[in-house]
Structure formats: structure tokens, C-alpha cells
């Protein structure tokens, strides 16, 4: 996520239990500093996000983005958004 007034990010929001958040913290390697956590306001709702500490683009782990893309199709996201912004990372 980078600040850009002319851009947007489509997202899905989940309600997390503290156990789920702890599991995400482990996966995102919060303890090692690979990612940090932040809270953003989206339509007056506080939202937890994980931010990479290294600004250089990286590649997602195998299977990670494929699962996200499958969910975006099931969730009715605009296919043009998926094609333009998500599939090029595969």
C-alpha cells in the first residue's frame, strides 16, 4: 500500500479473532521486522494492514496470489482490475 490520491485498492475485510491475528503476525514475520502492522481508516472503519518494511517489489509465495485471485472472482471483483493489477504478479 502506497499513498497515491489517484489510485485505489480493492480489498476484502475480515473480522479476526486474536488467535487469527497472532497467526498472521507469525506468517508476516512481525517479530523479525519483515512486515509491520498499521491501522488505516476505510469508510470510518479502523482496518488492520500489514506493511512491508522493504519498499522493493517482491514476488508472492507460490499459491498465495492464486488463492487471492480465485477469491476475487468469487467475490465479484471487476475482472479488468484482476487482469490489470493482480495477474501480472503471477
What distance separates the 2 farthest-apart alpha carbons in the chain? 37
DSSP string, the chain: ----TT-----------HHHHHHHHHHTTTTTTSEEEEEEEETTEEEEEEEESS-S---PPTTHHHHHHHHHHHTT--HHHIIIIIGGG-
pLDDT digits (tens, 9 = 90+) for 25-63: 999 999 999 999 999 888 899 999 999 998 887 888 889
pTM for the model stands at: 0.75
Q: Residue 80 — very low, low, confident or very high, per pLDDT cuts 50/70/90?
A: very high
Amino acid at each position: 500500500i502506497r499513498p497515491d490520491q489517484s489510485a485505489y485498492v480493492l480489498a476484502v475485510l475480515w473480522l479476526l479473532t486474536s488467535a487469527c491475528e497472532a497467526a498472521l503476525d507469525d506468517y508476516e514475520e512481525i517479530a523479525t521486522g519483515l512486515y509491520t502492522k498499521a491501522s488505516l481508516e476505510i469508510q470510518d472503519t479502523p482496518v488492520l494492514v500489514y506493511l512491508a518494511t522493504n519498499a522493493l517489489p517482491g514476488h508472492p509465495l507460490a499459491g498465495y496470489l492464486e488463492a487471492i485471485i480465485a477469491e476475487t472472482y468469487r467475490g465479484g471483483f471487476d475482472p479488468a482490475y484482476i487482469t490489470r493489477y493482480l495477474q501480472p504478479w503471477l
